[in-house]
Amino acid sequence: MSFLQRPVNSLSYLFTLKFFSMSRYLVFGLCLCLYILSIYKFYIHGRESPSLSLIIDNDPSLTQSATGLARATALELEELLQESVNISDFVSMAGRIVKFAVLAEATVSEETVDESIIFSSLEKHFPWWLPDPSTYLPWHRRRKTERDETGIVVCVGSRNKVYAIHLIRILRDVLDSKLPIEIAYGGDVDLSFADRHDFMTLGHNIRLVNLEDHFDESVVSLQDGGFAMKPFSMLASRFRQIIMVDADTIFLQAPDQVFVTEPGLVETGTLFWHDKALGEGTVDRHRWIEGFLKDKDPSPSLSQTMFWTDNLAEQQDSAVVCMDKGKPRVFTSLLFSVWMNLKNVRDEVTYRNTFGDKETFWLAAELTQTPYHFNPWYASCLGTLKTNDTVCGSQAGQRDHRGDLFWYNGAIRLNKWKAGRELVNITHWMSGKQDSSGLNEWWVDGENAGPTADMWCLRGDNLTSVVSLSVWSVMQKMTKVAKEVDDRYWPIDHA
């Protein structure tokens, strides 16, 4: 008998199909109601709420969409608020930062994800941060112009104002750099109104950023924060792609295309440079870092460096730091570096184990397993020839990915640690090296050692006469501009 010849049985069959079809929707609806109820109970009853793992176990589909993943991660971060972080426990803090990276990536991945989810979590975990509408955040759904895509950030106080003007005038008048510049400072105490006015007269595309408008000064203490200001300035910046520069840095090439021409920066969103390859480091510093990595192997970005293999004293020269905040994991890594430079954290932990901020950038990336890139060469010595295999000077030079001189720190002074306005005359360059092979011996030529040394000397086997390079003519133009700056801005009592 055909299907049409069995009306009663066929009708029963159709009702059965309909019932099972509706049952799937009923089960889904019931799970959704239970989830909403659990979320409500979580916010109303706090600790009495079911754990995140239980909620997800009951309905694994919650993390299968960007919104679901964002909400689930925010819940987990909410639970973590019940436990305070010991400021010396960088590993636990790194775990929280990783969760923020997941939350940021989920928020960026789909425009339908509500930004208030991540804003709420950030506000609860970092209440000292007061995000300004101008600050670049990777999840902001706002139109961005090419102008605020890449820029230079310089931390300036009245004490290093002239060095910063040297830097800006050389960028504009010698290297023809068109990048916008932000001058970050820690309130009126740090940079006076008269000094701020001087910067505004240097030309267009220069903006002043008062860090007191972005952070709670009672917690961050940046009025005289010194090194600590740098990561905070990067976080507050309106730029997506940031070139953070010390005021006493001098570029030998325009940095405008660095986010396009440097392969490691393009790949990872970070570009760091090594400091001087100075002898053996302090046992305590290496033990401190190794303590964070006892349960996992260091990344190749660390394990393949001389800092790690040869136990060097320093790893990073943070006079220039390049980071792309548009990459969520890079952004959250920067946030971790900022946390390491909070007043109580830096005073009680970070700066007891490092020299200022310099190691916090790569360390934040390392502990959160964020890919990062170091230029392979260690710092060079720029100065004058002392012997046929030794160069002495106050300037530490850095190279681009091709091996050409890119920038140096130490100002354009002969010795910035001594009074006077005598300008440096660089004639030779002793290159730093990439590995342990070959000769590379640093020492101090003078009475003072350490960062305020009278003069650093580098003995090696890779000597170059700068006079024979195209950069020589650039240096001569820089000297002329620096003299003009000194004539106008160098205080009479410093002459």
**Residue with token string 């009306």:** 7
Q: Count how many Cα atoms sit within 13 Å of the Cα of residue 397 in the half-sphere of its side chain.
A: 28
pLDDT per position as a tens digit, 41-84: 333 333 333 334 444 445 555 456 899 999 999 999 999 999 99
Q: Which residues pair with 433 in a beta bridge?
A: none
Question: What are the CA-CA distances from residue 487 to residues 4, 136, 174, 248, 482 (Å)?
Answer: 104, 37, 18, 18, 9
Q: Judge whether 77 and 103 are in contact, CB under 8 Å.
A: yes
Distance CA 104, CA 279 (A): 40
The three state secondary structure string of 155-189 is: ECCHHHHHHHHHHHHHHHHHCCCCCCEEEEECCCC
Provide the whole-model pTM.
0.85
- Comparing 5-9, 284-288, 311-315, 414-418, the range with the smallest average pLDDT is 5-9
Mean pLDDT to the nearest integer, 418-442: 88
Q: Are 239 and 153 within 8 A, CB to CB?
A: yes
Q: Please give the pLDDT value at position 236.
A: 97
Spatial separation of the C-alpha atoms in residues 481 and 477, rounded to whole Å: 6
CA distances from 405 to 77, 100, 202, 359, 472 (A): 45, 37, 26, 23, 11
pLDDT in tens, 352-410: 999 889 999 999 999 999 999 999 999 999 999 999 999 999 999 999 999 999 999 99
Crossing angle for the helix pair 328-340 and 90-109, nearest 10 degrees? 150
pLDDT tens digits, one per residue of 317-364: 999 999 999 999 999 999 999 999 999 999 999 999 998 899 999 999
